[in-house]
């Protein structure tokens, strides 16, 4: 990597959760950050918190024009991290197709769009990291769309690594287990869900946004210069056991309502 310039990063979904922890971690290492988020006002607040020299942008990952503008405006970059995502819950036989498509659109199509336009601006030695999920390898009843999207993201990551490697650009993903973030707050509010997850985690605790941010920072560092096409399981050993019975806990809550 050329060390003659300050490293530049775009963090998509950087206004909260894992994205915000990643932005703070990289900024502390001297990286110039653009905090990009669907919540443009939130991104502006976060960039101001990081201090002078950092920027904010509003972006919608399902809108290719929006993503293209983001990366065209920033210009050459060394790091791109995509944390955008959401999930819903419902059995396959009950889920409206539109709800399934909405998750796929953000979590898989959006990841493709980010990879497409970040890939055009990443300098030699640069790094693209997508945030995947334990659900990319571990099925969960009621989460068909999210599981399918994240499984697809694993293969997208590997293909992107093949295609971009000739330019010296590395592409990896981090696949967290249960991490307390705004994205998981609804699931965590259902009695029994967090406890069930912890019971099925070898380390015996949920993750934190900082756990994931530290892994992302490593993947973007010179220390990982020979690492590409990897989907890093970062879940405290949850992939060794079983996924929580989300639908069971939701159904019990509904029966009590």
Per-residue pLDDT of the chain (257 residues; tens, 9 = 90+): 444 579 999 999 999 999 999 999 999 999 999 999 999 999 999 999 999 999 999 999 999 999 999 999 999 999 999 999 999 999 999 999 999 999 999 999 999 999 999 999 999 999 999 999 999 999 999 999 999 999 999 999 999 999 999 999 999 999 999 999 998 988 889 899 999 999 999 999 999 999 999 999 999 999 999 999 999 999 999 999 999 888 888 888 888 87
What is the crossing angle of helices 144-164 and 97-104, to 10°?
30
Domain-located, residue 59: yes
Domain-located, residue 94: yes
Domain-located, residue 167: yes
DSSP-based three-state secondary structure for 57? strand
Domain span at residue 159 reads 8-181+208-238
Domain-located, residue 121: yes
Angle formed at CA 97 by CA 140 and CA 106, multiple of 5 degrees: 70
Q: How many separate domains does the chain show?
A: 1
Q: What is the pTM of this model?
A: 0.94
Angle formed at CA 82 by CA 76 and CA 85, multiple of 5 degrees: 155
Contact 123/2 with Cβ under 8 angstroms?
yes
Contact 77/71 with Cβ under 8 angstroms?
yes
Of 146, 197, 218, 243, the active-site residue reads 146
Question: What is the C-alpha separation between 140 and 8, in angstroms, rounded?
Answer: 37
Domain-located, residue 255: no
Question: Annotated catalytic, 197?
Answer: no
* CATH number, domain with residue 158: 3.40.50.720
């Amino acid at each position: 990597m050329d060390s003659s310039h300050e490293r530049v990063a775009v963090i998509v979904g950087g206004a909260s959760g894992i994205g915000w922890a990643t932005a703070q971690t990289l900024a502390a290492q001297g990286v110039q950050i653009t905090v990009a988020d669907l919540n443009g006002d939130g991104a502006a607040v976060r960039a101001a918190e990081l201090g002078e020299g950092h920027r904010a942008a509003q972006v919608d990952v399902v809108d290719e024009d929006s993503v293209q503008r983001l990366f065209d405006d920033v210009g050459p970059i060394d790091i791109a991290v995509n944390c955008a995502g959401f999930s819903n819950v419902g059995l396959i036989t009950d889920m409206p197709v539109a709800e399934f498509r909405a998750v796929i659109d953000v979590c898989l199509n959006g990841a493709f769009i980010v990879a497409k336009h970040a890939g055009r601006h990443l300098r030699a030695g640069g790094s693209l990291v997508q945030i995947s999920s334990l659900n990319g390898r571990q099925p969960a009843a009621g989460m068909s769309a999210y599981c399918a999207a994240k499984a697809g993201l694993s293969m997208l990551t590997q293909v992107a690594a093949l295609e971009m490697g000739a330019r010296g650009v590395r592409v990896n993903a981090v696949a967290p287990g249960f991490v307390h973030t705004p994205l998981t707050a609804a699931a965590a509010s259902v009695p029994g869900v967090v406890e069930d997850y912890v019971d099925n985690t070898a380390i015996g605790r949920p993750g934190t946004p900082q756990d994931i941010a530290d892994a992302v920072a490593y993947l973007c560092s010179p220390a990982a210069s020979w690492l590409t096409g990897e989907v890093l399981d970062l879940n405290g050993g949850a992939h060794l056991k079983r996924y929580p019975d989300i639908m069971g806990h939701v159904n019990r809550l509904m029966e009590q309502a």
